[in-house]
Amino acid sequence: AQTVTQSQPEMSVQEAETVTLSCTYDTSENNYYLFWYKQPPSRQMILVIRQEAYKQQNATENRFSVNFQKAAKSFSLKISDSQLGDTAMYFCAFMKQGGSQGNLIFGKGTKLSVKP
């Protein structure tokens, strides 16, 4: 079975600075996807970024980028130029490629506070 671990329950960062959220996972699969979701106080789950395991290049979406280390089973999220609107819970998630289920396995989340 796959597991996802987020070791930082809470973090804070000053506005305009850079912060990195950690995520590790355990799987015996070779083909899979990894995701970061953001959940602001509105409770809506918002997809931030996606990484395919077969791609060596790290995914980037504007101010958000990942550091994907497949051998180490590590998938960290870097937020550059942090903004007040980045304040939210962030969840790391794993999806096995193929098969009929295709569900996400989530970590327990990291609560990020961006301070003015």
Partner 1 sequence: DAGITQSPRHKVTETGTPVTLRCHQTENHRYMYWYRQDPGHGLRLIHYSYGVKDTDKGEVSDGYSVSRSKTEDFLLTLESATSSQTSVYFCAIRTDLSYNEQFFGPGTRLTVL
Q: Which residues bind partner 1 (CB under 8 A)?
A: 4, 33, 35, 43-45, 47, 50, 91, 95, 97, 100-104, 106-109
State the Cα–Cα distance between residues 74 and 23, nearest whole angstrom: 6
Q: Which is nearer to partner 1, 62 or 115 (CB)?
A: 62
Q: CB-wise, 79 or 89, nearer to partner 1?
A: 89
Smallest distance from partner 1 to CB 95, Å: 6
CB of 8 to partner 1, least distance (A): 14
CA distances from 4 to 22, 81, 90, 103 (A): 11, 27, 13, 13
Q: Which helix (H) or strand (E) holds 112?
A: strand 110-115
Q: 57 or 116, CB closer to partner 1? A: 57
Strand partners, 91: 37
